[in-house]
Structure 1
Amino acid sequence: MRSETGMELPYDVEIEILQRLPVKPLHRLELVSKNWRRLIRSRYFMERYMVHQKSKHRFKILAKIIVVDPLVLKVSPKPRLFLRSSDDDPEFTYVLLENNEVVATCLSCDGFICCPRPGNKYLFINPATGQKIQAEQRSPCHRPQTFESHVTVPFFISRYSIDFLGYRTSNHQFPSPAIDLLGFGRDRVSGDYKLVRLFERPGENTACTECEVLSLKTWEWRYISHVPIPCFKGQPSASVNGSIYWFTVYLWLTDAEYSTTAKIIAFDLHTHRFRAVHHPPFGARTPSYIINLMNLRDQVWMVEQTLDCLEMWSMDGGGGAWEKMYSIDLKSYARPNLEVLMPIEICGDGKVLISGKKPNNSNHWDLKERLLKYDPRTKTLLLADHQTFARVPYFQTWVLAPYFQSLFSFDTL
């Protein structure tokens, strides 16, 4: 690469320029120079490109719109609704996915998207390159015949319902069996993307006690072992720095008998081992039933929503302590009929983007989810999106996940 004066630019300057470009222009540049093609396809550059994308203050948000035509009872293949940030907010833009590709519940990690589909199938997408591939889930009968569970599930666990978490598990939104707990992340050592599935033992209806892993490098399922501490069915996971995190069934138990039992467990994507995580900061009280783990800024966050407040806790990198970072007073804000609030990203200026879900019985002409932004300096919570649409009989929209472009493809992992 030459400068305007005709001099060759230093190699590190070339890399600095190239890593600022979107994925599609980079692929076009591969046709211009063999050296550029070799550089762009190198793992070194792909990793550096990902780090740069995640460090940018501007990011993209995956969004999904379903449009139903009641005359034919079919879902429109393409969205007829358009979204943009309000007042041309420089922090984020939307990326819309087609209706025939994804469902409302998607898992996102380092530029790859995992979408559960009907029939125990999973669709993996790189939106930046347009690459897609589908994998099927094997039958649980692959479990070793000599396997015996060493997990004892308390008798009262089956009384609880994961609906208390406010997580979307209705059939039309999450076609994969609600008994599965899914986690999607990246092995920090090998670079392999992996889908982790926790599920209950056949014939039981209590909690998830078994585990298997799908490697996107080999496209093979591997049975791992029993889950040392059972987990509630249907809850979302948090994928952070090569580990997947879930709440255990003991989260709401404050009895002395269970006070030292782990409330959170983590699964290491490289060693395929579980470990207990330091207790959430609840003390002796019982936490709310609307509570979630999530990845914000490559850290594990726990978000608890009550009738009056939305509290956000961050766990330090070593997993040894929790710190309350945000406490949002919901009583003082005029929320547009939103019942469940889920933070999805923290902007560079400390503002929090929050997805607000409306009740299922709300007006079907209205959008089911809205995007809000909380400003900790002014203590304001305002709508952060502007949505226009063609008038159709019925539609729903979901904000799925933050998203960063990736140069990796499924055949270069």
Structure 2
Amino acid sequence: MVTFKEEKWNGLGVGNLLVSANGTVHASPPYLPIRAFGRFDGYKISNPCDGLICLYTFTRIINLVNPATTSRRRLPDPRPDGGVSHPILIGIGRENSACPRYKLVWFFESYDKGMCNTTRCMVFALDSNTWRNVDPPHDCRVHYDHPLIHLEGVMYCFAHSRWDLKLLAFDLHTETSQSFSITPDIGVSYFDKLIMRLLNHRLCIFKSFVDKDDLVLKIWGLDMNKRSWEVMYSIDLSCLPPEFKESRISPIETIHNYVIISN
């Protein structure tokens, strides 16, 4: 587990927290604070890929951190010539399970002259240490309040078109994107009511709240080949303690045939 805290010099402190099987907690000495991150920079943290995480701000301060080795790498500014690019969303992934080539994907809204209010995309390859522009999604706009998720060489995020909610899939090898409509059977119309997770090595979505009129939580899994969704788990929430029914809920992991739920 990786922990973060603000230091007194407006730096961001990063440390490791190890939890053993018997519940014993071991805290490692913290790294030196990341001075480049100020208190008001509004930093964001990407989902991990093979233990690597990305810390970044809308001012394009981007750090790649490996908590296992306590190493940190500052990445070059994607747009050194300036330009407004906010909001932004960055994720890290690997091209495929056999290839150790890592890439970062950066989605952002451009307000440059002639490109006002359009979604753009850039890709950073760690081996070449360079950013480059790639074709952005054409039929939808990225939703920036949920992190990118990596699975088998593809980066996933929520997106929206004029008519419906979508899931955007960006292939790290071909550097192209495609979108999938989110099943209307899930029963939500806004992204703040949805959560995306990897469960049992499959991309899943589900409602983030307990519906008092329907106490069965359905977890939907994506079938990439069929471009469709199917119910992977149906969980009866009526047996949960009352406090679970009054707050957001989130399945976070699967162990054998059990689903671990957190609130």
Name the TM-score class by shorter chain.
0.7 to 0.9
Query: Percent identical across equivalent pairs?
Result: 24
Structure showing greater relative contact order (alpha-carbon pairs closer than 8 Å, 6 or more residues apart): 1
Question: 2:65 aligns to what?
Answer: 125
**Runs of 5+ in structure 1 lacking a partner?**
1-61, 144-176, 357-413
Q: C-alpha offsets along residues 64-101 of structure 1, whole Å, 9 cap, x if unaligned?
A: 25377xxx68679577x97747x827xx9888794735
Aligned in 2, Cα 1:282/1:66: closer, same or farther, shift over 3 Å? same
- Aligned counterparts of 2:29 and 2:251: Cα–Cα separation in 1: 20
- Aligned counterparts of 2:58 and 2:241: Cα–Cα separation in 1: 39
- Aligned counterparts of 2:81 and 2:151: Cα–Cα separation in 1: 30
**TM-score, with length taken from structure 1:** 0.49
| Bigger proportion of residues as strand | 2
**TM-score, with length taken from structure 2:** 0.72
Q: 1:138 pairs with 55, 74, 78, which one?
A: 78
User: Post-superposition shift, 1:352?
Assistant: 3.0
Question: Contact conserved, 2:250 with 2:261, CA < 8 A, in 1?
Answer: yes
- Aligned counterparts of 2:104 and 2:28: Cα–Cα separation in 1: 23
Aligned in 2, Cα 1:83/1:109: closer, same or farther, shift over 3 Å? closer
| Root-mean-square deviation (Å) | 4.0
- Aligned counterparts of 1:312 and 1:301: Cα–Cα separation in 2: 6
Question: 1:306 aligns to what?
Answer: 209
User: Post-superposition shift, 1:246?
Assistant: 1.9
Question: Contact conserved, 1:186 with 1:241, CA < 8 A, in 2?
Answer: yes
**Runs of 5+ in structure 2 lacking a partner?**
38-42
Question: Contact conserved, 2:58 with 2:87, CA < 8 A, in 1?
Answer: no
- Aligned counterparts of 1:125 and 1:341: Cα–Cα separation in 2: 29
Aligned in 2, Cα 1:182/1:73: closer, same or farther, shift over 3 Å? closer
| Bigger proportion of residues as helix | 1
Question: Contact conserved, 1:109 with 1:185, CA < 8 A, in 2?
Answer: yes
Aligned in 2, Cα 1:190/1:296: closer, same or farther, shift over 3 Å? same
The structure number with the bigger radius of gyration is 1
Q: 1:197 pairs with 106, 109, 113, which one?
A: 106
* Matched residue SS, 1:335: helix
In the comparison of the two structures, how many residue pairs are matched?
245
Aligned in 2, Cα 1:66/1:337: closer, same or farther, shift over 3 Å? farther
Question: Contact conserved, 2:58 with 2:86, CA < 8 A, in 1?
Answer: no
Q: C-alpha offsets along residues 369-412 of structure 1, whole Å, 9 cap, x if unaligned?
A: xxxxxxxxxxxxxxxxxxxxxxxxxxxxxxxxxxxxxxxxxxxx
Pairing 1:3-402 to 2, within 5 Å after superposition: 62-66=1-5, 77=13, 84=19, 88=22, 98=30, 100=33, 105-117=45-57, 119-139=59-79, 141=81, 179-188=87-96, 190-202=99-111, 209-228=119-138, 229-250=140-161, 258=163, 263-277=166-180, 279-283=181-185, 285-287=187-189, 289-308=192-211, 310-330=217-237, 332-335=240-243, 339-347=247-255, 349-356=256-263
